[in-house]
A and B are shown apart, each in its own frame.
Chain A
Amino acid sequence: MGSDQSSLPAGAPGSTLRSQRDEEIPYTQYSISKPIDSHSPRQSPRPQKPTRPVIKQEKDGLPKHEIVVVADGQIPVKDPDPELTKLNAIPMFFPILRGSLNIPVGSKETEVLDKLDHKQVLQLCLRYQDHLKQLSEAVAFDQNALCIRIKEVDHSIHVQNSSLVERQKKYAKFVEQFGRITETLSTLKKIQKGMDDIVPRMDILNSLLPAEDQLETFSFRTTRPVSRPS
């Protein structure tokens, strides 16, 4: 049977099939190379001419129309074991007992060869313990201070709230009293309107009466005996 040339895919070098992707069919380039999501401007799937970086210096000032082929650059290798990497990154240091390393070069005659003063190690550990204690005390102190502050703020907020409540009640009474002013005004207006209505009519009626029964002209002023303290 052998290998059929027609069974190869279209783009392979030996095949005689040609698809839309391979041939430069006019007017189809945009529809093929337009990606579905317009955010990733993917290149045309057709093989493109490589860029000419040599000409780049000439075209510095001009707008770039060239197609840039992004080469498969340095993909950062993922860290399989971050802890191992961190361990490897620790710089080299000497142990406390330098003589315990079998260094062929007897550099810097080791002061302490085989004896480790346990008392000093104990002092070191105690110092560390003390350090931790001081740190934790500082943190706990700050936290407690914050707690107290929160309680103070809460208390002051409640005090303010109660004063606002009292003020609001006072003002409610004021509002009610001032509201009476508006009522008074409206009542007075009604009275005025009524009087304006009645007084002319009263005058007309008065004038129609015979002269003896006529009342004096109506005025709002009431004649009252003014009593003065002597």
Chain B
Amino acid sequence: MASNKAAAASWNQETKARLNDKVSSNINDIGSILRQAIRGSKSPDFLAQAAKNFASQESYIHNSHETMRKMDLLRSQLEFQHSSINRSLSCLDEVQDQLSSINH
């Protein structure tokens, strides 16, 4: 009776162990299938490539930023020149008057 019970218990343990193994191997297989699915679609490759490309644009963006700053300086210089030309133009009338007074 006791030996029957011991045998039954050990047989129980055996089935449990085998079930464990089966379940674990199933899960491992599922994992490998999914890994294959992800690697096979090459999606991480594409995405990594895209990220690298985008990161390399950083130099262009930096250049554009610097150029825009220089353009801003140029714009302010042009403004200055514009105002000085305006001033000179307003003196033009006076020059005309002087010349006419000299000539008459």
Question: Does B1 sit at the interface, judged by CB under 8 A?
Answer: no
**A98 and B91 alpha carbons, distance in the complex (Å):** 99
Q: Do A132 and B60 touch (CB < 8 A)?
A: no
Contact indicator B46/A125 (Cβ below 8 Å): no
A-side binding surface: helix, strand, loop or mixed? Answer: helix
Are B102 and A161 touching (Cβ within 8 A)?
no
**Which residues of chain B (63-104) have a CB below 8 Å from chain A?**
63-64, 67-68, 70-71, 74-75, 77-78, 81-82, 84-85, 87-89, 91-92, 94-95, 98-99, 101-104
Tell which of B34, B50, B70, B101 touches A143, judged by Cβ atoms closer than 8 Å.
B50
CA distance A182 to B92 in the complex (A): 8
Contact of B77 among A131, A168, A220 (CB under 8 A): A168
**Docked-complex contact B95 and A133, CB < 8 angstroms:** no
* A181: interface (CB < 8 Å): yes
In the complex, chain A residues 125-144 whose Cβ is within 8 Å of any chain B Cβ:
125-126, 128-133, 135-137, 139-140, 143-144
**Chain B residues in 8 Å Cβ range of A32:** none
Q: Which of B38, B61, B68, B103 contacts A221 (CB 8 A)?
A: B103
Q: List 15 A-B contacts (CB under 8 A).
A: A125-B34, A125-B37, A136-B43, A136-B46, A144-B50, A146-B57, A147-B53, A168-B77, A168-B78, A174-B81, A175-B84, A178-B88, A181-B88, A182-B88, A185-B98
Listed in ascending order, the chain A residues whose CB lies under 8 Å from chain B are 125-126, 128-133, 135-137, 139-140, 143-144, 146-147, 150-151, 153-154, 157-158, 160-161, 164-165, 167-168, 171-172, 174-175, 178-179, 181-182, 184-185, 188-189, 191-192, 220-221
